[in-house]
Amino acid sequence: MSLAGKRILLIVGGGIAAYKCLELIRRLRERGAAVRCILTKAGAEFVTPLSLSALSEDKVYQDLFDLTAEAEMGHIQLSRDADLLVVAPATADLMARMAGGQANDLASTTLLATDKPVMIAPAMNVRMWEHPATQRNLGQLLADGVLQVGPNEGNMACNEFGFGRMAEPDEILSAIEKHFDGHAATRPLDGLTALVTSGPTHEAIDPVRYIANRSSGKQGHAIAAALADLGAETVLVSGPSSEPDPTGVRLVRVESARDMLAACRAALPADIAVCAAAVADWRVDGAAGQKIKKRNGAPPALSFAENPDILKTMSRLRKDRPKLVVGFAAETEDLIENARAKRDRKGCDWIVANDVSPDTGTFGGDNNRVHLVTGDTVEDWPKMSKNEVADRLANRIAGHFADAAE
Ligand code: C5P
């Protein structure tokens, strides 16, 4: 895709990943975009204004109180002159200042003054990323409409492993392209809201042990991304999963089935609900408050209590029932028959039935072969990737709402 004529204001924060910005500028320029850079004080510890200026072929802006720069172009104009503001790397500190609406340097002032879309590419140590404060700030930024790309999982400069690596220049570039592409035309799910559940749930035995299942979250995450891509304002309620956070989606992380139900209720009202999570049917009744100790050969006897059925609850709500509720049926035999029965039992509108016999490799794999059960009809879809299943389902949902509007 060409980015000819697009003006990107790149805000380079202070993180080791700042070096990737140089490549990003080159790639944006190759596609015809004009790039102008703001370099924070901390960012200048990692890359030089000279490199940024050479690659962007423009002046680099660094100081809020630079009279010469203000005379040429004030910070308000700087923020308005762009089509998109990209913060890369978006450090924990920069995110916190953005979320709090602070304006104490040129970067934060420009971000507060802008009326243009903003995209962040977070980069930080995994603990900093996972800290509730950062996640809270991220939630605020996403609620404010900020777009997010990354971070990825991997080795960090600080020798730790986990989420926090900044997205690669290629990924940031494609998120930017997608943004402009998506805004070129109106999207079929614009104005609708969606709720998606994904991943397994963890049911505590005691503070250190839990019962889980093999769900990866791949399918649910892909569905959330696909619905958001078509314009739906999407909340993804996910149990523990190592899938990267989908872009353009508000992610709510939960552990147990009961937390998942509470998060789903909090996300209502929604027009669309897709329950793709592999929710544990049972939890340990009276999970221990302290780690259970070994007792001379007498293993603890666990007893179970039934978990709430989230799909059933959503489907049977009197108030706020989503207009379209979609469930999944993972079966190993009599697929369609069982799926139909499940649709009736749960009270949902559609069921996506998939064969999860061990030889299909569906669990944790990238492919899926599904059948869509809507009312009396069954559509057999060919084997395809989970991303393709997600795109097709999102398009079917869009078609359903378009028909209903006629
Ligand atoms: O009952 P079963 O687990 O076979 O049904 C699968 C469907 O029900 C999936 O859509 C799953 O997300 C949903 N489900 C749920 N809450 C439960 C159990 C299943 O939302 N406690």
pLDDT in tens, 346-376: 999 999 998 887 777 666 677 788 999 998 8
**Ligand 1 atom 13 nearest Cα:** 311
Q: Containing H/E element for 280?
A: none
Catalytic annotation present for 37: no
What pLDDT was estimated at residue 122? Answer: 96
Give yes or no for residue 105 having a pLDDT over 90: yes
Same-domain status, 254 and 350 = yes
| Candidate from 53-57, 71-75, 258-262, 289-293 with smallest mean pLDDT | 71-75
Query: Which two tokens mark 42?
Result: 């901390």
What is the pTM (predicted TM-score) of this model?
A: 0.60
Residue 266 and residue 167 share a domain: no
- Evaluate whether residue 296 is within a structural domain: no
| Residues 121 and 174 placed together within one structural domain of the fold | yes
Kindly state whether residues 83 and 171 are assigned to the same domain: yes
16, 53: one domain: yes
Distance CA(307)–CA(84), nearest Å, equals 45
Please report which helix (H) or strand (E) contains residue 303, including its range: none
Terminal Cα distance for the chain, rounded:
34
Which of these three, 144, 169, 185, is where a domain ends? Answer: 185
Per-chain mean pLDDT for the chain: 92
**Which residue is closest in CA terms to ligand 1's atom 2?**
329
Residue 291, in any domain of the structure: no
Catalytic residue among 21, 37, 158, 348: 158
Instruction: Choose one of 166, 185, 204: the last residue of a domain.
Output: 185
Could you say which of 131, 157, 185 is where a domain stops? Answer: 185
What residues make up the domain containing 140? Answer: 7-185
CATH number of residue 396's parent domain: 3.40.50.10300
| 86 in a structural domain | yes
Domain presence at residue 228: yes
> Does 295 map to a domain?
no
Tell me, in angstroms, the distance from the centre of ligand 1 to residue 328's CA.
7
Average pLDDT over residues 241-258: 94
Gap between the Cα atoms of 271 and 268, Å rounded? 9
274 lines ligand 1 (CB under 6 A): no
